[in-house]
Structure formats: structure tokens, C-alpha cells
Amino acid sequence: MTTSIKLPRPAADFHVHVRDGDMMKLVVPTIKQGGVSVAYIMPNLVPPLTKVEDVLSYKSRLEAVDSSVTYAMSLYLSPAITPEVIHEAKKAGITGVKCYPAGVTTNSDHGVASYAPFYPTFAAMEEEDMILNLHGECPSAGHIHVLNAEEEFLPTLKDLHARFPKLRIILEHCTSAAAVQAVLECGPTVSATITAHHLFLIIDNWAGNAYNFCKPVAKLPADRQALLDAATSGNPKFFFGSDSAPHPISAKEKGKNASAGVFTQTHAIAYVAEAFGKLGKIDKLVDFVCNFGRDFYKVEERPSSFSVVLEKEEDTVPLLLGEGGSAVVPFKAGENLSWKVVITEA
């Protein structure tokens, strides 16, 4: 039985929210703690990052907190992101552009209502070999609701892929069997990230539980099974992106408008190991968390200053990260995990 796994290099997390200010200072150190040395940083700050200089400034603030992680950066798609900005961004070392449909999740008020106006931008991204990160949901209205919002988006994914076949596209945090199937049907330039928490959750888990509520919402048992199958399949189209989304307790423990997001950064790789281990697929872990994402992204990174070993050892998820009303409750707070991430400085 496997009791210890030394990762050939620390894991990479291709969907990370660390906010700004005090929350950033609280959360950024947990990237490494979770076993990760490469983090793809989402741009949905308040206001969103729509300028190259703002992204670079944010990157500096992240590096000031923890310089041992490589931060791959993204812009927030908006009318400000012209083809000229794309060329500028590429030169500045920015990796991709995140597209939020308007109004579907945290800080998406400035998101996209229609894709066609951005075709010139997507063409420039294709030319520059930048990555388009899609939050793949249609806003709820009429027959569209949180449970089919992702499936309803899939024709848009396929349409964009057909229009820009060389553009690398990631369907972020895919949550449904339909999304897995759609990604499989696309060419090699289309991949998907899968979170840790969607390997565990279904609709019942967020019914009456704000800490398990995120967007896209966790769906039905068959969808969770499809995600587990995809993540452990060994197909490089599917790789890890935690979508770890810290919200203070005060934004969760309220009756209405609880913020959407599950916080998994502190134990990111341990959660994935837990899910894979239960399926007897722990041998698929390294590719999913270390290799497939890096290969797709073609990340340039410094040699890591630390190494990561997963030990088969019971580890209890703390009840809180931080203190007071701004503390964050981690996923599975107070529960035991079977794998523990051990960090060793080089």
C-alpha cells in the first residue's frame, strides 16, 4: 500500500482566488501550505483587473507575501481588453484572460453579456498563444437555472473553439457530466480544470450549507461521478484548478446572499488525494495535480524552493484560518483527511 508520495515537483493549481489586502496576506501563504508552487491567479478583484499595469502591480503584492510560489497572471475580460491590450499583456508576461458571464458569481458584475464583440480580442489571444479561461455558465433566466447553467453554456464553448481552433481554452471548474463530455469532444486546445470540492459535493451538501455553496454549484451524484472519472482517467485534458475562494465568515453566515465559494487552499492537494485514494486511483494524482496543467499552460517557472511529500497520515482540517469575523472556514473544517502534505525547504 502506498504510504508516502514524493511529488516530482510541487503541485500546480490553475484556478486560485487570493483577493487583495488583508485577505491576500492571510491566504497567499496557504498556497504553498497546500502543496502548490505554481498558482494561476484569477483577476476578479474589486474593481476587476482590466489593465496590464494593475495585473503586474497585483503580482508584485503577491510576491511580497510569498516569493516561493510562481504566480501566473490573468486579465479580466471586459471591453477594455482590446487586441492592443492583449499584445501588451503578452509582452508583460501575462498568461491568460478570464471571462466571466455577467452576474453569475463573485465579483462578476463587470462580466460579459455577449461574446461576439470580443472576437477580435480572442483572435489576438490566439495569435499570441494566450489562454482563455471560461467561467462556463449562462446567467439564470427563463428555463436556465443554476443546475443547467453550465450545460447551457456548452454550445458557446464549442462555438468559440470552432471559431478559434488554435486558441487554448479552459472550461474552468467543470461540474457536470455534460461538460466533461463536451470537453472530450473538443480538440486538444480545449481543456478543463476540476476543483477538489466538486470531487466530494453534490446538491445535498450545499442545501442549507453556505460553506459548501459555490458557483458553479455542485450538481447531482452522476455529475460528481463523471468528474471523479475524468480527474482519475489519465486524460491530460483534465487537470487541477482548486477555485479555492476565500470569504470571511461574515459573508457566509448570513441568511441571504451568502457569498459563493469554497475555500480549499490550505489542504488543496490533500483533498484531491483523499478523493483519488478512496477510488484506489492515487497513482493518477501526480499527473492531475503536477503535470497535465503545466503541460497545457507551458508555464515558465523558477525551480521550486521547496518539495512536497504526501504522507498517509490522519490530518484534521482546522476549523478556521485566521481570526474573528474575517476568518475563513476551510472545506471539511473539523473533518479528518487521510493524507497530509509535508513541505520541505530545499
> Taking CB under 8 A as the rule, does residue 254 contact its own copies?
yes
Among 249, 239, 245, 252, which Cα is nearest to 206's?
A: 252
Q: Which is nearer to its own copies, 44 or 95 (CB)?
A: 44
Of 65, 92, 249, 342, the one binding its own copies by CB under 8 A: 249
| 109 contributes a contact to its own copies by CB under 8 A | no
Q: Which one-letter amino acid corresponds to residue 105?
A: T
170: its cell numbers: 479552459
Cβ closer to its own copies: 251 or 337? 251
Residue 81 interacting with its own copies (CB under 8 A):
no
Residue selected from 72, 329, 337, 341 as contacting its own copies according to rule CB under 8 A: 329
> Which residue in 56, 92, 258, 343 binds its own copies (CB under 8 A)?
258
Q: Count the Cβ atoms, other than its own, within 10 Å of residue 45.
A: 19
327 in contact with its own copies (CB under 8 A): no
Helix axes 119-128, 149-163, angle to 10 degrees: 60
Residue 242, all three cell numbers: 482548486
- 3-state SS class at 297: helix
Instruction: Report the relative pairing of strands 306-316 and 74-76 from DSSP bridges.
Output: unpaired
Q: Which residue has the cell 455577467?
A: 102
User: Minimal distance in Å, beta carbon 197 to its own copies?
Assistant: 14
Stretch that binds its own copies, among 31-39, 87-95, 154-162, 210-218 (CB under 8 A): 210-218
Q: How far is the CB of 33 from its own copies (least distance, A)?
A: 22
Question: How far is Cα of residue 320 from the mean position of the Cα atoms in its chain?
Answer: 21
CA angle in degrees (0–180, nearest 5) for 315-311-284: 110
The DSSP element (H or E) to which 194 belongs, if any, is: strand 190-194
> Which residue in the set 41, 217, 230, 289 belongs to the binding site for its own copies (CB under 8 A)?
217
Give the integer Cα–Cα distance in Å for 220 and 146.
12
Report if residue 226 touches its own copies, rule: CB under 8 A: no
Query: At closest approach, how far in Å is the CB of 149 from its own copies?
Result: 9
User: Count residues contacting its own copies (CB under 8 A)?
Assistant: 31
The torsion angles phi and psi of 302, rounded to 5 degrees, stand at -75, 155
Task: Please report whether residue 70 would count as binding its own copies according to CB under 8 A.
Answer: no
Contacting positions for its own copies (CB under 8 A): 140, 142-143, 145-147, 202-204, 206-211, 213, 217, 220-222, 249, 252-260, 329
